Amino acid sequence: MMNNIKLLDSDKKTTLFILYVYTLIRGAGRASYMFLYSLYLISIGYSTKDLGLIMTLAAASIVLILPIVGYLVDHGWSSEMLFLSGISMALSLIVPVLYPSFPFLILSYALNLLSLYLWSPSRNKIIGLIIPPVLMGRIYGVFALLFNSSRTITPFILGRLTEVLGYGSLMLWMGFFSLVGSIIVYVCLLRYGNTLTRTPLNKLDLVSSYKAMFSFDRSVFPVLLFAVIDRFSWRLWYPLLNAYFKEYRLFDDAVIGDFNTLIGLSMLVSSYLAGSITDVIKPTKALIIYELIGVAGLLSINLSYPYIYLSALLIGFSVAFWIPAYNTLITVMYGVEKVGRLRVLADSARNVTSIPAPQIGGYLMSVNPWITFMLSAFLMLSAIIPLKKISIDTNST
């Protein structure tokens, strides 16, 4: 790789380095939010059921922004979208501490989702412009390594600081860290972003991007069906997991932090292996493995301490399989030249249909948490069925 990196000129190398640094910042910010937000809500009197409602309302408010993001990225505004991604992450941590009322808690989670949706397409656009194909796979591998490294260590540290500094103070500090880092990164990108040529914005094109959000060819229906069922089943419980541990299992923060760290560590050590296995057995089979491991991890959540850490390892393995398998499957369905369109369609379908999942999961947990987990396990196994209908289509990959 060191020989191939010489293919890049000085500005492109610098831009790549800036994105690497930003990835570390985002990994820490993202992990901080996912660890602290739900615990903070529990500490100020909200329940896991309330958290599910907050997540559902936030997702509903943000989903219509997706086509606009894709449109702006395609028209050369990637640096600005990256900047907004970082600002959104920072504000999502700061806002609920300064204004802990219900509407602002919804705004906080909406900003967290916005940060996530802004990041991937913006970064991918810049990478596509500055990195030759011969390096692209390994470059994305470095991004995954950096992000998972940052998100692995962060909850481990935070879990041991909450009793000293408190949830609110930690959220403010991590929000400030994300804010300053985002500003510095954006200034640097403006200096080295001369490859980003902006094109005029057109209202008709923007309207078309919204129409595409709800349209797809019948040939991709099995992929969309899998994506919808899979996303809904995971959103029933995964965003609520830390709150569940705090409210229903009465775990202390260090145990919850270690659980999150083990998920990240499991992803970190197994991502390359999962990608290699995907190349050998094809993406549909890899996704089946992903679902089966995910079900095993989900059902292991009921184990007592410390055996519950097995669940964290299995969940990490499951997500590690999903990343290369899902992205490969989306690519081979239409080919590289149309991968963007299909990714937008699939992600839009996943996000729209999963909006009520956290509220449903939170309500079922208030009745009996095991109902939520069993329903999710059933849906995850059901998601395997449409995969079998598309295995023939990917045999040539």
Dump pLDDT digits (tens) for 231-277.
899 989 988 888 899 888 988 888 888 898 898 888 888 877 777 77
107 falls in which pLDDT band (50, 70, 90)?
A: very high
Average pLDDT of the segment spanning 42-69: 82
The per-residue pLDDT for 121 is 74
Written as one letter, the residue type at 189 is L
Dist CA 95 CA 111 (whole Å): 10
122 falls in which pLDDT band (50, 70, 90)?
A: confident
The per-residue pLDDT for 311 is 93
Written as one letter, the residue type at 119 is W
Separation in Å, CA 181 to CA 61, 91, 297, 344, 352 = 27, 13, 35, 28, 31
Q: Are 244 and 48 in contact (CB under 8 A)?
A: yes
Q: Are 67 and 213 in contact (CB under 8 A)?
A: yes
The per-residue pLDDT for 196 is 56
In sequence order, what are the residues at sequence separation of 6 or more whose Cβ sits closer than 8 angstroms to the Cβ of residue 150?
Answer: 23, 24, 25, 26, 27, 28, 31
Which 8-state DSSP code applies to residue 25?
H
- Chain centroid to Cα 205, Å, comes to 27
214 falls in which pLDDT band (50, 70, 90)?
A: low
Dist CA 47 CA 53 (whole Å): 10
The per-residue pLDDT for 210 is 66
Average pLDDT of the segment spanning 380-391: 81
Dist CA 325 CA 284 (whole Å): 7
Which CB contacts under 8 angstroms, 24+ apart, belong to 164-168? 167/36, 167/39, 167/40, 167/43, 168/40, 168/97
Integer distance in angstroms from the first to the last C-alpha of the chain?
Answer: 24
Q: Are 12 and 130 in contact (CB under 8 A)?
A: yes
Written as one letter, the residue type at 324 is P
The per-residue pLDDT for 1 is 47
The percent of residues in the chain predicted with pLDDT above 90, rounded, is 20
